[in-house]
Amino acid sequence: MTRPPNMKRLSDWHHRLSIYLGSVRQTPFAPGQMDCALFVAGAIEAMTGEDLSASFAGNYTTLKGGFKQLKKAGFRDLVALSEAHLSEVPVSMAQVGDIALLSSEDGLAFGLVQGEHIFVRHPDGQAVLPLLSAVRVFRI
């Protein structure tokens, strides 16, 4: 799959991503405000200037509601959303700033690749998991 023509990292993406990660570090998990999908959407916006969360943010208050919004937008799941906007790469080729899909007790969840680790957001806050926890990885 090819990536959308305008989806590319800005020249100062690394700096912008660092600022973003610092700004949300203490933000509590809240569906529709700061959950796994909105966390990575914010990272994508920091790196590219493209806001993929505009039609989702603030429109749900539970994870179940978030999945309903996803289906309402025409995506069967997080995989379909990822495939529509990003190019998949092997987990072994993941780079800083790529988007990881991980298995969670609620189904698939998003995380942000940071070297050999993945930053994730969940109801208990932020966690760091090994890169090999990823089921799939998508490049921006």
How confident is residue 6, by pLDDT bands cut at 50, 70 and 90?
low
Model confidence at 2: pLDDT above 70: no
- Annotated domain spans of the chain: 13-139
Specify the residue for token string 């590219």: 48
Buried-exposed string 94-115: b where 16+ CB fall within 10 A, e elsewhere: beebbbbbbeeeeeebbbbbbe
Buried-exposed string 6-27: b where 16+ CB fall within 10 A, e elsewhere: ebebeeebeebbeebbeebeee
Secondary-structure class of domain 13-139 per CATH: alpha beta
Chain segment 28-41, per-residue pLDDT in tens: 999 999 999 999 99
Beginning with the edge strand found earlier in the chain, give each strand of the sheet holding 87-89 in spatial order. 87-89, 134-139, 99-104, 107-114, 117-122, 125-130
pTM above 0.95, yes or no: no
Percent share of the chain, pLDDT over 70: 96
- The pLDDT of 54-65, averaged and rounded, is 86
Model confidence at 1: pLDDT above 60: no
How confident is residue 138, by pLDDT bands cut at 50, 70 and 90?
very high
More confident residue, 90 or 123: 90
Average pLDDT, the chain: 89
Chain segment 84-119, per-residue pLDDT in tens: 888 999 999 999 999 999 998 878 889 999 999 999
Provide the H-helix boundaries in 1-140: 13-24, 36-48, 63-72, 78-85
